[in-house]
Structure 1
Amino acid sequence: MAEDPPLAVDIDGTLSREDRSIDSRVMDVLRGWDAPVVIATGKALPYPVALCQFVGVEECVVAENGGVAYVDDELLYFGDRRAADQVAEAFEAEGYDLGWGDADLTNRWRETELAVRRDRPLDVLSEIAERHGLHVVDTGFAYHVKSEGMSKGDALPAVAERLGVDVADFAAVGDSPNDVELFEVAGESYAVANAEDIAKRTADEVVDGSYGDGFLDAVDRIRS
């Protein structure tokens, strides 16, 4: 049996069920992977780090849509939180909150970008972001305000270098527009059936299964 290639995989919509809970079947697959696993997500850094710990794999992550990565006890930053904070202040001055409540666990540990609930006005948010040199990406779960040139695909080569592997050796699995750049740099890429159209168009293959089922389908393809 051929060795597994390095794997870069999204969380929400890919390792999860439709309700965003982790599909428990994926955990043993990740734990048994015999090559580096990079959890690449739009979530703040503590979430993928915790997932790695609970699964039992090395803590190797790309978080905040490529804004920050952690590999081999090194933190790598690719985005500017100060500008994102200025966008939040201006958005709130226009009379809108970010939508996550007073505790705001979505942004509390976020270091390089801003996440806003999708029921907030995108036109207002985009105009403010542009004034501060940032742009908005709709991941399907939130509006993310981030620096230009900051993406999972921009961060993965830096992680691959530190792992001592070629980024083109990676297999990538995802579902969202924020996975497009990841698909573009990986050697092979798979979109799950519930993926957004742009992710499906960019991926090398679209599998039949959705959510965690789709990830397991992709694993079968990768290992075939």
Structure 2
Amino acid sequence: MASDVPPLVLDIDGTLTDEPGRLDPRAFDVLPSWDAPVVLATGKSFPYPVSLCHYLGLERNVVAENGGVVLANGEVTYTGDKERAQAVADEFVARGGDLGWGSFDDTNYWRETEIAVSLAADEKLLREVATEYEMDVIDTGYAYHVKTPGVEKGIGFKRLCETLSMDPDEFVAVGDSTNDTSTFGVVGQSYAVANADEAAKAAADEVLSASYMDGTLSVLESIQE
């Protein structure tokens, strides 16, 4: 690689945002000019990271829905079972559960491989139903995600690297949640921002002293020195 900086794989929420969840505008100062590929790997539904790539002026290299959807080199692949995830959600609601997103569920409206449920929901009931349907539930700190077993960000990221003919070990990763741990396990260097959960901190090569975008910027600035 001709560039002196490594390629990046970055989570979005808690990593490129501030505490209330707003995209930190400083992302526009550093990422569009980053002289190596930048991959956005997120639990959000597919359109969110694709749109963010567009507005940042980045190539559309995306791992969305915790690895359920991957976009690289114009090729989209799906691995999650949305029908089974939806069946879990429907049964959960039928038993008195509430997904928690109100009348217009923009959290799931565009989601293609999993279902996200509010952290205010009945976790015990949700996990009981998911187990009956042989589905997993992960708590990302932002939502409970009902997903197909074996679907993870790190596996989706490895698939993306294969499409791009790149080695995952070349990448630097920054994240904040348990769903980032699988990515941390396949990259060359990984960082957990200070606001990260315990699973992410335990899996990262280094835990940063700064939170949210402050932490991410500290990594990018140190790389460029």
Give the TM-score range, shorter chain.
over 0.9
Q: What is the CA distance between 1:218 and its match in structure 2?
A: 1.6
Asked if 1:222 is matched to 2:223, the reply is yes
- How do 1:153-172 residues align onto structure 2 when only pairs under 5 Å count? 153-172=154-173
Stretches of structure 1 lacking an aligned partner (at least 5 in a row): none
Match of 2:198 in 1: 197
- Work out the CA distance in 1 between the residues paired with 2:193 and 2:3: 23
Using structure 1 for the length normalisation, give the TM-score. Answer: 0.97
Q: Larger deviation: 131-140 or 26-35?
A: 26-35
Match of 1:39 in 2: 40
> Residue deviations 1:110-160, cap 9 Å, x none?
011010000101110001011111111000000001011111101011101
Match of 1:174 in 2: 175
- Work out the CA distance in 2 between the residues paired with 1:21 and 1:34: 25
Asked if 1:71 is matched to 2:72, the reply is yes
Aligned residues, how many?
224
Q: What is the CA distance between 1:2 and its match in structure 2?
A: 6.2
Contact 1:208 1:217 (C-alpha < 8 Å) held by counterparts: no
- Work out the CA distance in 2 between the residues paired with 1:182 and 1:24: 25
- Work out the CA distance in 2 between the residues paired with 1:152 and 1:58: 19
Match of 2:147 in 1: 146
Match of 2:188 in 1: 187
User: What's the secondary structure of 2:63's corresponding residue?
Assistant: strand
> Residue deviations 1:170-212, cap 9 Å, x none?
1100000100001001111000010001101110011111001
User: What's the secondary structure of 2:53's corresponding residue?
Assistant: helix
User: What's the secondary structure of 1:110's corresponding residue?
Assistant: coil
- Work out the CA distance in 1 between the residues paired with 2:71 and 2:168: 16
Asked if 1:132 is matched to 2:157, the reply is no
| 1:105 maps to amino acid | D
User: What's the secondary structure of 1:83's corresponding residue?
Assistant: helix
Q: Identity, % of aligned pairs?
A: 51
- Work out the CA distance in 1 between the residues paired with 2:4 and 2:130: 44
Q: Which runs of 4+ in 1 moved over 6 A?
A: none
> Residue deviations 1:43-99, cap 9 Å, x none?
000000010111111111100011101111111112110110100110011112211
| 1:83 maps to amino acid | R
Contact 1:63 1:69 (C-alpha < 8 Å) held by counterparts: yes
Contact 2:136 2:146 (C-alpha < 8 Å) held by counterparts: yes
Contact 1:15 1:23 (C-alpha < 8 Å) held by counterparts: yes
- Work out the CA distance in 2 between the residues paired with 1:164 and 1:121: 43
Asked if 1:122 is matched to 2:114, the reply is no
Using structure 2 for the length normalisation, give the TM-score. Answer: 0.97
